[in-house]
Structure 1
Amino acid sequence: MDVTQEADATRSQVVHHIDPALEPENQHHHAHQHHTAFAEQGRQDEVVYSKDAQFEKGIVPEQTPLDHGSKNFNDPEAGENFPAQRIWYRRVKKQWRHMAHAVVWLLFTGWWIAGLILHRHDIGWLIPFLLYLAITLRIFFFYVPITIVSKPMHWVWERTAHPFVRMIPEKMRIPSAAALCIGVILVGSFVSKESQDNTRANRAVSLFGMLVFIFGLWLTSRNRKKIVWHTVIVGMLAQFIIALFVLRTTTGYDIFNFISGLATDLLGFASDGVIFLTSADFYNFNNGFKPASFFIVGVDSAIIFFVAFVQLLYHYNIVQWFIGKAAVFFFWSMRVSGAEAVVAAASPFIGQGESAMLIRPFIAHLTMAELHQVMCSGFATIAGSVLIAYISIGVNPQAMVSACVMSIPASLAVSKLRWPEEEETLTAGRVVVPEDKEHRSANALHAFTSGTWLGLKIAAMITSTLLCIIALIGLVNGLLTWWGRYLNINDPPLTLELIVGYICYPIAFLLGVSRDGDLLKVGKLIGTKLVTNEFVAYDALQHHAEYKDLSDRSRLIVTYALCGFANIGSLGNQIGVLSQIAPGRADDVSRVAFSAMVTGAISTFTSATVAGLLITNEKQYFSTPT
């Protein structure tokens, strides 16, 4: 073979890459590089490209392989050495942490004892005791592993519940659990005495409605053979028990009344800021013109302050800790994946988009069922920021808070009924709330100011959205009224609310509202919520003269039924947020979005039917409309 032939043979064995990123001169300018051990030590001279390499899946997938580059902690521009600062900070924190914890515990111990002695009978002891107990346990578990509690509980559970379950034949366990759930619901609903508007006949209608919603989800399930009935049964039972605790027990009423009272007090703190920016005379002026009742004055200020306050709690890991503990409970009890449990537990507190951000590294790796569940949890509840806004316009805070908590197990149950898991999940074995290093605040002041800016954007978005939606509804109503005149539809005039009211008439009946003239009104509110948003519906419920004569039962049930983000506008928001987090999953997100929205709406409807089953003293659970 001559030299020319040898060169041709050599060239024939070379594999030419189409991707320019694989060329040597471009090897440091593409977004998918794998470094050797030398590179991890700071040397960038050796870059290895892997093809069909098999790596063990970690529990937290990396967002971008570029994060594996050089670990040079020195910032030459800032002139700072981060390891030195961290070592000093950790040393000081370790030295003073014990003293700080001791001071905090002694302070709250003295406060609780003094309150118990001085105000045991006139103010009450339960709420202070629960607060003191929570602080004591939190400090205690800083030094003692939680396994000293969880292991004995697990030991007791293994030796009491499991032997009892094993006595039941495996084929009969699910039917037995379903029978137990139905029995608890029947006894809890129908044993109590009747009230004027809460007769057993009305409760039976609410129970029938719940069964219809569940049957409809089962009938339209993507794969009925894959339904995990344990998740569905436990979710519905947990929803009912939470409602039973809130609506039928004095302790539950006091706890949720305390929580709703704290939320209401936040409005007063926000008003202090408005008074500083204007004046007390302007804010409290009430002579046919009350600025405090204006949405842009009374509601926007509360939203901005609440979001900033939540960001401050987020900086100190209080929000993440609370969400993580709640997620562990639902992960263990309902047998869902860790990512699903985190989003379900977080959605009532931080909202639909923000809850997905908690599991941002996992979004690209979620199964279709997990994507459906993540979106369903967002649609099935509201966020803490808008909760404050609804309270400010007069919606009962206890009903709102309890509806948010009930939505956690309900959204998990109905989503797994509609779209059961058919794939292997990445977070099936544990609950993880990854640390968000990209959006980490430098200090508490930075967190609070960033939260202020975020709150301003949220308030501006809500205000502008309401302005445009209400204006658009006015335009549509004007056109429909004009068109209806030629068909002699004049009293009442043809409007969008009237059309969606008749469409949602069956839903109002299934919820169990009063049938003495309230069905069409409740149907209008539900339709308005689904077509526009829940804010417009709640505002109509509280301020429109048409709804002032709603019965107590109907008013409470519709308060629960409207408590969710399931509407056309939020559908676009969720698709946008998840597609931005994981662009490669945009098609999958769009595919499951509408199903998740409908399922989320059904989740809120089941909460409303549970309220219809249990409420006996309606008057104390809603505010008089203004």
Structure 2
Amino acid sequence: MDTEGARGIAPPEDLGWSADDFNMEVVVVPGSTDQQNSAHVDLAFHQHETEKAPDLTSPKDDVTLSNGIAGDHDNDGNTMTSCCYALFAWLAPLKAALRHHRPFVGRWGSRLFFVLYVLYSGFALYRQWGTEAATRLLLLLVIVLWVSLGRRVSPQLLKRLGPVVTLQPEKGRTLRTVVRWILYVVAAGGGVAYLALEVAPKKPSNLLTLGGIALLLLVGLLLSTHPHRVNWHTVFWALAIQFYLAVFLIRTQQGKDLFQWLGGLMEKFISYTDIGSKFLFGDAYTMHPVVFQMLPVILFMNCVIAVAYQLGIIQALIATLGRFLSFCLGTTPIESVNAAANVFLGLAEAPLLVKPFLKDVTESELFAIMTGGFASIAGAIMGALVAIGIPSNHILAASVMSAPAALGVAKIMCPETEGDNSSTTKDAYKVNLGTSTNLLEAVSQAAVMGVSIMVTVSANVFIFMIFLTFADNVFQWFGEQVGIHDFPFTRLLSYVFYPLMYLCGVDAADLLTLGRLVSVKILTSTIFSYQQVAALIDNSATLSNYTKATNGSWHYQGDDLVLHDWNVTLTGGVLTERSVVMSTYILCGFSNISSIGICIGSMTSIAPSRTKHILKHVVMAGVAGNIACFLTGCVAGLLYI
């Protein structure tokens, strides 16, 4: 820095002061350039001590007195500034060292946190063992261990066990074939024995759903691009995983308690959105549950998933579940990871995890990727459905069960025909962390995206409700002209899926209602159909209270139920508990007309080189998604008593 230039600054001569009346202090920041230091030059003007006391009557001296007072304050400020610069200069090497060794510090910091958390969990479990709090602590500990160690342990374990079950050409072909057939017999025999001993004696009508499963597989085979190339190993284990998972969740007390507990935690967690709704909209927010309760849950859950993704929790779950599906079904890592991702992410977000591989995947893999999106719902939407009254334990189970179903149906309708050209890269398991700089940025970006989802959902529900009501009135008007009364458009839709609902094992009283809900889902949106299910659940509760309070009578008027003593009409009727459960599984998927447009837009933007193949298969992938949802509903109906 040019200090002489600084000393050459002229003092204000017009006030009668000379340069000798001032001392100039220059603060130089170590390590800075001359240009930077010139910005930090602090000039402190002090009168000489030999100067006589000023005459207060003189304007000049008055100005000099004021300048002296200001100079004292400037001197104090310069001292503080110098201290700050000295502190920053001392911290600069430390900051540079931390930046240089950031990977090392981050790695050992994470290990230290991991050790401390394990110690804390052990002590807390010791104190709280046997309580509900201990269960939560144990679940969190398992998740932490899974995220931290699962990526290292599971690949090695599956590498050792994989050749025994999968179709990989390894040594010991005869042994592998024997073991595989033993597993086939054990899995199939166990299922048949369970149905014969547990289901048939208690509710033989449930076995009717076996006909529904056979019909769905037959339809998929008839629509298959290459029916003679279907890999029945994948189809068998997809059904087996669904069946035994449903046995655990629906028939065993441990499974019921586990998912009931998880569902309760989810409901409790989602209820925190009411705090924000109450703060923004006041106590009257409950009067508008869709806008002020359901839609805010979408925003909240989207941010939660973004945080979990940024921390690597979602990636660990997806990679582990993807390895499990690939191990059991013999599917490739890419389509397995995508199917696992659809449990948590939506139709447009899940393919982003395998974006680098989409340009090279086979048509069968591309079909499976699209089918997985149509056969499942996003985690944020799941939270919104729970908020409006859909059973949380069953919506969770349906989301998990849809993953193997989607892969199984996809491999029937579009089997692999390219052999060794299929993508089997293990890099698909290495799901990258979030792209946000930190958690704050991740939450902020997710909030903006969540608002977009909220607007899209509300706009779709709004417009579909208008058009569906309009179509109902138009059909009723045309029917009345020829003497047919109470025959709306939704009643016509009910008859379209009536036979399929019968084969799925739906209660006879609810066949038309479930047929209508499925039609509404396919033509409009999944959320709109679930809203109608929620309304029917409320109607069922009202009817139960009515019979307990009055033991009064009622009658159906079209699809509506009229309560005589209360003079109340329950629009749409009611659903039995079994039908509520089955509707939760059957409707659990984005397989509708509007989602086909979303899939085309998202997939062609992610993989523009595959536009031709995407447009070729997207409609049939939507059909496959619906078949997978029906298949999940059939399995649930088979075991629900």
Do they superpose with TM above 0.5? yes
Equivalent position of 1:539 in the other structure: 531
CA drift of 1:138 comes to 4.4
1:216-295 mapped onto 2 (5 Å cutoff): 216-279=219-282, 281-283=283-285, 290-291=286-287, 293-295=288-290
Question: Does 2:476 align with 1:481?
Answer: yes
Corresponding residue for residue 498 of structure 2 = 505
- Which residue number in structure 2 is paired with residue 518 of structure 1? 510
Is the contact between residue 235 and residue 412 of structure 2 (CA under 8 Å) also seen in structure 1? yes
Are residues 1:427 and 2:417 paired? Answer: no
TM-score with structure 1 length normalisation? Answer: 0.75
Partner SS, residue 301 of structure 2:
helix
Given that residues 541 and 547 in structure 1 are in contact (C-alpha distance below 8 angstroms), is that contact kept between their aligned partners in structure 2? no
Shift of 1:262: 2.5
1-structure distance, mates of 2:602, 2:427: 22
1:469 to 442, 464, 467: 464
Aligned residue number for residue 621 of structure 1: none
Q: 1:182 to 1:506 in 2, by over 3 A?
A: farther
Counterpart code for 2:174:
R
Change (3 A) 1:146 1:207: closer
What is residue 540 of structure 2 aligned with on the other side? none
Alpha-carbon distance, 1:190 to partner: 3.4
What is the identity, as a one-letter code, of the residue corresponding to 2:284?
F
Rg comparison, structure with higher value:
2
Taking a change above 3 Å as real, the CA distance of residues 436 and 141 of structure 1, as seen in their structure-2 partners, is closer
Instruction: Tell me if the contact between 2:147 and 2:312 (Cα under 8 Å) persists in the aligned partners.
Output: no
Query: How far apart, CA to CA, are the structure 2 residues paired with 1:146 and 1:304?
Result: 34
- Superposed displacement of residue 266, structure 1: 2.7
In structure 1, the partner of 2:608 is 583
Following superposition, the deviation at residue 254 of structure 1 comes to 2.3
For 1:463 and 1:487, how far apart are their aligned partners in 2? 37
Do the aligned partners of 1:266 and 1:302 also contact (CA within 8 Å) in 2? no
Call closer, same or farther: CA 1:190–1:499 in 2, change over 3 Å.
same
Deviations 1:211-234 (A, max 9, x none): 111122123321122111111111
Query: For residue 166 of structure 1, what is the aligned residue in structure 2?
Result: 174
Compute the displacement of 1:111 (Å). Answer: 1.6
> How far has the Cα of 1:83 moved from its partner?
11
Contact 1:359 1:433 (C-alpha < 8 Å) held by counterparts: no
> Does structure 1 residue 379 correspond to structure 2 residue 404?
no
Supply the AA of the counterpart residue of 1:109. G
Q: Which AA in structure 2 matches 1:498?
A: R
CA distance in 2, matches of 1:460, 1:599: 28
Q: Does 1:321 align with 2:316?
A: yes
Shift of 1:151: 6.3
One-letter identity of the residue aligned with 2:505? G
Kept in 2, the 8 Å contact 1:514–1:554? The answer is yes
- Name 2:391's counterpart in structure 1: 396
Counterpart Cα distance in 1 of 2:628 and 2:635: 11
1:490-501 equivalence runs, <5 A: 490=485, 492-493=486-487, 495-501=488-494
User: Structure 2 regions of 5+ residues with no counterpart?
Assistant: 1-94, 537-569
* Partner residue, 1:36: none
Mapping 1:8-27, distance limit 5 Å: none
The change in CA–CA distance for 1:134 and 1:443 in structure 2 (over 3 A counts) is closer
Does 2:332 align with 1:340? Answer: no
3-state SS, counterpart of residue 382 of structure 1: coil
Give the CA deviation at 1:92: 2.1
Distance across 2 between alignment mates of 1:113 and 1:608: 42
Hey, what does 1:311 align to over in structure 2?
A: 306
CA distance in 2, matches of 1:137, 1:323: 12
Instruction: Name the counterpart of 2:29.
Output: none
Contact 1:181–1:233, Cα closer than 8 Å, also in 2: no
Task: Say which of 596, 614, 637 aligns to 1:571.
Answer: 596
Which residue identity is paired with 1:199? Answer: K
Select 2:203's aligned residue among 195, 199, 205. Answer: 199
Shift of 1:316: 1.4
Indicate the residue corresponding to 2:640 in structure 1.
615
Aligned residue identity for 1:111: A
> Residue 93 of structure 1: CA displacement?
1.5
Instruction: Give 1:487 shift.
Output: 2.1
* Shift in CA distance, 83/139, structure 1 to aligned 2, threshold 3 Å: same
Residues 580 and 476 of structure 1: CA distance in aligned 2, closer, same or farther (over 3 Å): same
User: Is 2:192 the partner of 1:186?
Assistant: yes
Aligned-residue offset at 1:365 = 2.0
Give secondary structure in 1 for the equivalent of 2:344. Answer: helix
In the alignment, the residues of structure 1 paired with residue 422 and residue 307 of structure 2 have an alpha-carbon distance, to the nearest angstrom, of 31
Is the CA contact (8 Å cut-off) linking 2:206 and 2:637 kept in structure 1?
A: yes
The letter for the 2-side match of 1:579 is T
Query: Aligned-pair distance for 1:396?
Result: 0.5
C-alpha distance in 2 between matches for 1:228 and 1:252? 31
Partner of 2:348, secondary structure, is helix
Q: Distance in 1 between matches of 2:207 and 2:153?
A: 47
Pairwise CA distance, 1:551 = 2.4
In the alignment, the residues of structure 2 paired with residue 225 and residue 349 of structure 1 have an alpha-carbon distance, to the nearest angstrom, of: 34
Please give the per-residue CA displacement for 1:193-250, whole angstroms capped at 9, x wherever unaligned: 679xx721x2121111111111221233211221111111111101111111101122
Aligned to 1:132: 141
Larger CA deviation: 256-265 vs 238-247: 256-265
Candidates 508, 529, 533, aligned match of 2:521: 529
Q: Within 1, Cα distance between the matches of 2:159 and 2:614?
A: 39
Contact kept? 1:561, 1:605, Cα under 8 Å: yes
> 1:123 — aligned with what?
132
Partner of 2:623: 598
8 A contact 2:200–2:207 mirrored in 1: no
1:4 matched to which residue of 2?
none
Q: CA deviation at 1:398?
A: 0.9
Structure 2 residue identity aligned to 1:522: L
Q: Which residue of 2 aligns with 1:412?
A: 407
Partners of 2:444 and 2:270 lie apart in 1 by 19
How far did residue 486 of structure 1 move? Answer: 1.5
> In the TM superposition, what whole-angstrom CA distance separates every residue of 1:312-360 from its partner, at most 9, and x where no partner exists?
1111121112101111111122111111011100102111110011111
Show the counterpart of 1:34. Answer: none
400-409 vs 89-98, which deviates more? 89-98
CA distance in 2, matches of 1:129, 1:384: 23
Is the Cα–Cα contact under 8 Å of residues 231 and 415 in structure 2 kept in the other structure?
A: yes
- Is the Cα–Cα contact under 8 Å of residues 358 and 434 in structure 1 kept in the other structure? no
Please tell me the residue identity of whatever aligns with 1:87: H
User: Which residue pairs with 1:213 in the alignment?
Assistant: 216
Q: Is the 8 A contact 2:121 2:137 kept in 1?
A: no
2:358 paired residue among 344, 350, 363: 363
Q: For structure 1, which segment, 467-476 or 428-437, has the greater mean C-alpha deviation from structure 2 after superposition?
A: 428-437
Give the percent of matched residue pairs that are identical in Structure 1 and Structure 2. Answer: 25
Question: Which residue of the other structure, out of 434, 439, 443, is the alignment partner of 2:438?
Answer: 443
Q: C-alpha displacement at 1:542, in angstroms? A: 2.1
> C-alpha distance in 2, partners of 1:151/1:562?
36
Unaligned runs of 5+ in 1: 1-81, 284-289, 617-626
User: Which of residues 94, 99, 112 in structure 1 aligns to 2:125?
Assistant: 112
Distance 1:124 1:313 in 2: 22
2:270 is paired with a residue of what secondary structure? Answer: helix
Task: Assess, with a 3 A threshold, how the Cα gap between structure 1 residues 89 and 590 changes in structure 2: closer, same or farther.
Answer: same
8 A Cα contact 2:398 2:632, kept in partner: yes
Equivalent residue in structure 1 for 2:584, among 552, 556, 559: 559
Q: Which amino acid aligns with 1:107?
A: Y
Confirm or deny: 8 A CA contact 1:528 1:537 kept in the other structure: yes
State the 1:583 CA deviation.
2.0
Q: Is the 8 A contact 1:328 1:431 kept in 2?
A: no
Q: Does 2:458 align with 1:460? A: no
